[in-house]
Amino acid sequence: MARRGKKKGRPISGWLVLDKPVGMGSTEAVSKIKWLFQAEKAGHAGTLDPLASGMLPIALGEATKTVPYVQDGAKVYRFTVAWGEERSTDDLEGPVTKSSDQRPAEAEVLLLMPKYTGVIMQTPPQFSAIKISGERAYDLARDGATVDIPAREVEIGRLDLIEHNADRTIFEVECGKGTYVRSLARDMGRDLGCFGHIAELRRIEVEPFTQEDFVTIAELEAARFGERSANSDSAETVDAPVDFDAIDALLVDTAAALDCLPQVAISDDAATKIRLGNPVIIRGRDAPVEAEEACATARGKLVAIGAIEQGMFKPKRVFAG
């Protein structure tokens, strides 16, 4: 039998709420964070385009098991629409495809905005990660194909106008999973008869995380390396003994991603049984009797996600102690 290779990295777990800079791709950001923490495993909870900045929640270790709950959370974006041009990518990256000398008055924009709140139908951009016949739409678009992407239902909780001038309008939007802000800019531009595209885009919230959780690359490098060169990624620097306490302190606990679920406090004995895959009786006056999903904690630490049926917690996904 082939021998299993030894896992590389530390078994560190938690969420790093990165303030991603413009120009860095999401995959690149995950690799950078994984390297800085020397983590065994890392993944992100929702792609953020290289031209966008802001919140990219990155899960390390056991926190990767909670990624779907963060992906499903509401997002808040602050974005600027430049009027007068529509572009192939619906942002600054692509060439201009349509243009107009017309510019909207603030009153016209305000009058239009209610159309884009609530549950609406939205067609994703040509340059998007939507799969068409097994291929990514952006790959087909780069090859010059015009892709017929079906419209789909998305939910926009609120859309606020922050600032308006002749050529640009700044908005803030709170939206659900699957919403494309680039499509919002494109569609509003068409409705206003002047065309439009995203000039700036910043994600400022991904439920349950807020701007107070933001950590920058510079802060991470300072915590990781101290007075040593933060720009060195040589083998000598990586292999040198490191005190990880400072950088580990920047992580948000794994359980934070599950604030949306009922919480059940259990004993250490019950935690041991659950981690072995066994159900346990939930005790306590306030314990829920039924729940499709809930999370069990012991001494404030996440133990498992599971269902509560007839007063028993039945684990579906357990977490290392």
pLDDT digit string (tens) for 65-121? 999 999 999 999 999 999 999 999 999 999 999 999 999 999 999 999 999 999 999
84: left (phi over 0), alpha (psi -120 to 50) or beta: left
pLDDT at 306: 96
pLDDT at 288: 73
Describe the crossing of helices 217-225 and 26-37 by its angle, rounded to 10 degrees: 20
The sign one gets for the Cα dihedral 299, 206, 142, 27 is negative
Question: How do beta strands 291-298 and 263-265 pair?
Answer: parallel
pLDDT at 236: 40
To the nearest 10°, report the CA torsion of 289, 69, 41, 274: 0
Phi then psi dihedrals of residue 25, to 5 deg: -80, 160
Residue 256 C-alpha from the chain's centroid: 14
pLDDT at 187: 98
pLDDT at 130: 67
Residues of the chain with pLDDT under 70: 1-7, 127-145, 227-241, 285-286
Query: What does the pLDDT look like over 110-148, one tens digit per residue?
Result: 999 999 999 999 998 876 666 666 666 666 666 566 777
Catalytic residue, candidates 49, 90, 91, 187: 49
Single out the residue of 36, 55, 31, 1 nearest to residue 207, CA to CA.
55
pLDDT at 230: 46
| Residues 298-314 as b or e (16 or more Cβ within 10 Å = b) | beeebbbbbebeeeebb
Percent of the chain residues topping a pLDDT of 70 = 86
Measure the CA–CA gap between 216 and 16, rounded to whole angstroms: 10
269 labelled catalytic: no
pLDDT at 147: 75
Question: pTM above 0.75?
Answer: yes
Average pLDDT, the chain: 89
To the nearest 10°, report the CA torsion of 37, 43, 48, 52: 0
pLDDT at 234: 43
